Chain A
């Protein structure tokens, strides 16, 4: 029973990682940008969520409704003003640009919020739980998992069924060919980043509800997003989702074996996948 409980907790934890991974997977899949500022953007948005909730005096879900559009606009501007200048066949300029962005965000947060850890008050949501037979699961992790599932499914449908999704996939496959039939790749890229950072706005609210945040937390979260995406296969949406769940399970099960082994177990699973199947479990499959 202890291990079933660990697996369930792990899957639920994986829901949060899946939300981190979604935007990263999208940006890599469409633009081949490895966004090393992904974790810092998450922390930046977490602080923004705390500020919004505090000043407007609203609950976490209302905060999300305010934060996500702002995040999407910020993502659009980030792509138009910075990343579009760095994107191209050479992956190095965008890597350096996002690395610089990462340092900038961390230091700006440190200057603005000091190194104190803060969190978003959930009005009891963070401690509420459901009992299923002998097992107790937190209400918040269940909501996080459901949100991850809905987000991944929605983006999947968006890519498959909409005009914007088709343009996104076309630009991902061959940006020059797409431009020859009227697609403006830079506009499409900005839309992709707006979507990626918008999703990160949802993840940020959950992140700030679940744990305390401080300005230097970004890189740690980036690692989890990275591992989830690589376990699943770079650029594969559902692969990233399942990779995140596997990572979550590995961490919780590892933590049950020994309290210090949580993150280590996740890293070991990640390394094992890299060694055995470097393209990821679902790499090369359908996006």
Chain B
């Protein structure tokens, strides 16, 4: 890990008004890597993603892309820099068809200048074939899992270098979750990195190469996913004073 990370944060602090949600987060992610963020509700996971995306403002110099500090920006400017987000709760455009939801992203997402292979409707359909069959259906008529696929497809059509996924398994059936997570290697195969925020610790551990555990706005654990034990996670998840009944 000697080369510059794709994206890194350095002592990132953020909050809403008087409430501070993040206390100095140091983080890095490299191309093709899948990194998981775990932690209890309110630990600051979603806030961290919002900081990266530009939905919550951060101090200058605390977020770096390719080693270079990136300035305060609006979310649509973050997209141009190569970030895209699958927001919590999917946030699809109600009243519009599956196809139109995807086309908005294709129209406004990042254009690839390198010779990288751009995401197209066809590639999204190949990844999630059900979206081809449902292309003319209104998004609100889809099942939760299908809606999540639209939301992921929409983010992919922005051709992100870093895909931010906020709780994509929330409220979905285990079989559907497995189907969605099975798409992750295809997504990262061509250099896209993925940062997944996940409630399901087992899922986060198996899908990622490294994981960070957040507790009350601080990183309490940062280890390669394969090396981390359940006891360590429990301790980081609930704090040192808590003794889990294993």
Binding site for B on A (CB under 8 A): 163, 166-167, 169-170, 173-174, 176-185, 286-287
5 contacts between A and B (CB under 8 A): A167-B104, A177-B93, A179-B76, A181-B108, A184-B74
CA gap between A163 and B103 in the complex, in Å: 8
Given contacts A167-B104, A170-B104, contact A180 B87 (CB under 8 A): yes
When distances are taken between beta carbons in the complex, the residues of chain B under 8 Å from A184 are 74, 76
Which of A166, A177, A287 contacts B87 (CB under 8 A)?
Answer: A177
Across the interface, do A170 and B109 meet the contact criterion of CB distance under 8 Å? no
Q: Compute the total of residue contacts between A and B using a CB distance below 8 Å.
A: 77
Nearest chain A CB to B125 CB, angstrom units? 18
Q: Is residue B243 within 8 Å, beta carbon to beta carbon, of the partner chain?
A: no
Nearest chain A CB to B150 CB, angstrom units? 11
When distances are taken between beta carbons in the complex, the residues of chain B under 8 Å from A176 are 55, 75, 87, 91
Across the interface, do B107 and A166 meet the contact criterion of CB distance under 8 Å? yes
Binding site for A on B (CB under 8 A): 53, 55, 74-76, 79-80, 84-85, 87, 91-96, 100-101, 103-105, 107-110, 154-155, 157-158
Across the interface, do B100 and A166 meet the contact criterion of CB distance under 8 Å? yes
When distances are taken between beta carbons in the complex, the residues of chain A under 8 Å from B93 are 169-170, 173-174, 177-178
Query: Which among A166, A176, A182, A287 has the highest number of chain B CB atoms within 10 Å?
Result: A182
Across the interface, do B158 and A181 meet the contact criterion of CB distance under 8 Å? yes
* Closest B residue to A179 using CB positions: B75
Across the interface, do B96 and A180 meet the contact criterion of CB distance under 8 Å? no
Given contacts A169-B93, A173-B96, contact A180 B85 (CB under 8 A): yes
CA gap between A156 and B101 in the complex, in Å: 18
CA gap between A245 and B91 in the complex, in Å: 36
Across the interface, do B79 and A181 meet the contact criterion of CB distance under 8 Å? yes
Nearest chain A CB to B65 CB, angstrom units? 16
Query: Which among A166, A169, A181 has the highest number of chain B CB atoms within 10 Å?
Result: A181
CA gap between A182 and B74 in the complex, in Å: 9
Nearest chain B CB to A193 CB, angstrom units? 19
When distances are taken between beta carbons in the complex, the residues of chain A under 8 Å from B154 are 181
Across the interface, do B105 and A182 meet the contact criterion of CB distance under 8 Å? yes
* Closest A residue to B99 using CB positions: A166
Across the interface, do A182 and B53 meet the contact criterion of CB distance under 8 Å? no
Given contacts A169-B95, A183-B76, 8 further A-B contacts (CB under 8 A): A166-B103, A173-B93, A174-B91, A177-B91, A178-B104, A180-B53, A180-B55, A181-B84
CA gap between A183 and B109 in the complex, in Å: 8
* Closest B residue to A185 using CB positions: B76
When distances are taken between beta carbons in the complex, the residues of chain B under 8 Å from A174 are 91-94
When distances are taken between beta carbons in the complex, the residues of chain A under 8 Å from B55 are 176, 180
CA gap between A12 and B44 in the complex, in Å: 59
When distances are taken between beta carbons in the complex, the residues of chain B under 8 Å from A286 are 95
Across the interface, do B74 and A179 meet the contact criterion of CB distance under 8 Å? yes
Pairs A-B, 8 closest by C-beta atoms: A182-B108, A177-B91, A182-B79, A173-B93, A179-B75, A181-B105, A170-B104, A170-B93
CA gap between A163 and B106 in the complex, in Å: 10
Nearest chain A CB to B148 CB, angstrom units? 14
CA gap between A287 and B110 in the complex, in Å: 29
Across the interface, do B95 and A167 meet the contact criterion of CB distance under 8 Å? no
Across the interface, do A166 and B91 meet the contact criterion of CB distance under 8 Å? no
Nearest chain B CB to A159 CB, angstrom units? 10
CA gap between A148 and B94 in the complex, in Å: 28
Nearest chain A CB to B103 CB, angstrom units? 6
Across the interface, do A182 and B100 meet the contact criterion of CB distance under 8 Å? no
Nearest chain B CB to A245 CB, angstrom units? 24
Across the interface, do A167 and B91 meet the contact criterion of CB distance under 8 Å? no
CA gap between A185 and B104 in the complex, in Å: 12
Which of B87, B91, B96, B158 contacts A182 (CB under 8 A)?
Answer: B158
When distances are taken between beta carbons in the complex, the residues of chain A under 8 Å from B85 are 180
CA gap between A173 and B84 in the complex, in Å: 19
Across the interface, do A177 and B103 meet the contact criterion of CB distance under 8 Å? no
